[in-house]
Amino acid sequence: MNYFDYFKLLEQTRSYDNLQCEQTRRRKQRQLWFALDNEQENLLKNSLEINLIEDLPSIDKIEIINSQIINQDSIKIIKILNKNSNFLPNGIYERLLICLHPLFYERLDYYNITLGRTIDKNLIQIERFDTKNYISITINNCLLERIQNLLIHNLFSFYPSINLQIET
C-alpha cells in the first residue's frame, strides 16, 4: 500500500468537493442576483448562467503540493517484539490501535494494516504480519518519542508478564 498515493487522492477529493461547493454557491448567488419575474428575463438568466458556470477539472487533474499530503520529515520504522518468545500476545494489535487512536486525525483500517496521519500530516502506518512475531510501525521521526512513551506506559503495562520491547 502506498500511503503517499492514498493521501494524495484524499486531498484531491477534498479539493474537488470544495470546488463543487464553491461552484454551487456561485450558482445560487447568481440566481439571487437575476431573480426576475418576467419569463423573457428568466430565459436571459438561464443563458447567462450556462455561460458563467465553469467546468470543474477532474479529480486527478487537481494539483496538490507534497506538504499537504504528508509531512516530509524523515520516516522511521520501529518494531514491537516479545523479547522472550517469537510470538506476540493475542489482541495486542487491536490494543495498539486503541493506544495510538488519539494521535490519528485520519485513519484507514484493513485486516493487517492501519494507515493514518495526524492533524499535522505526520504518517502513522501500523502493520502486523502473519508470522505474528512482531508489529511494524512506520512514522515520521518527530513522533518517535511520543509513540514510544505511549507504548511503554499504555500498551506494555497491560502485559506485565510479557517482556515487550521496541526496536528502532
The pTM score is 0.77
Q: For residue range 22-70, what is the model confidence (pLDDT) as tens digits? A: 988 888 877 777 665 555 566 666 665 555 556 788 888 889 988 889 9
Within this chain, do residues 12 and 86 fall inside the same structural domain, yes or no?
no
Number of folded domains that form the chain: 2
Q: How far is CA 59 from the centre of its chain?
A: 17
Q: For residue range 147-165, what is the model confidence (pLDDT) as tens digits? A: 999 999 999 999 998 999 9
Of 46, 67, 88, the domain-final residue: 67
Q: For residue range 130-148, what is the model confidence (pLDDT) as tens digits? A: 777 899 999 999 999 999 9
Sheet holding 113-117, edge to edge: 106-109, 113-117, 123-128, 134-140, 75-82, 164-167
pLDDT value at residue 31: 73
Within this chain, do residues 41 and 80 fall inside the same structural domain, yes or no?
no
Within this chain, do residues 80 and 137 fall inside the same structural domain, yes or no?
yes
Within this chain, do residues 138 and 95 fall inside the same structural domain, yes or no?
yes
pLDDT value at residue 86: 85
Within this chain, do residues 63 and 76 fall inside the same structural domain, yes or no?
no
Within this chain, do residues 105 and 27 fall inside the same structural domain, yes or no?
no
Q: What is the C-alpha end-to-end distance of the chain, expressed in Å?
A: 22
Domain that holds residue 113: 70-167
Within this chain, do residues 112 and 156 fall inside the same structural domain, yes or no?
yes
Whole-angstrom distance, CA of residue 99 vs CA of residue 147 = 9
Nearest to 70 by CA among 16, 100, 115, 102: 115
Whether 1 has a pLDDT exceeding 70, the answer reads: no
CB contact at 8 A, 5 and 12? no
Of 67, 89, 122, the domain-final residue: 67
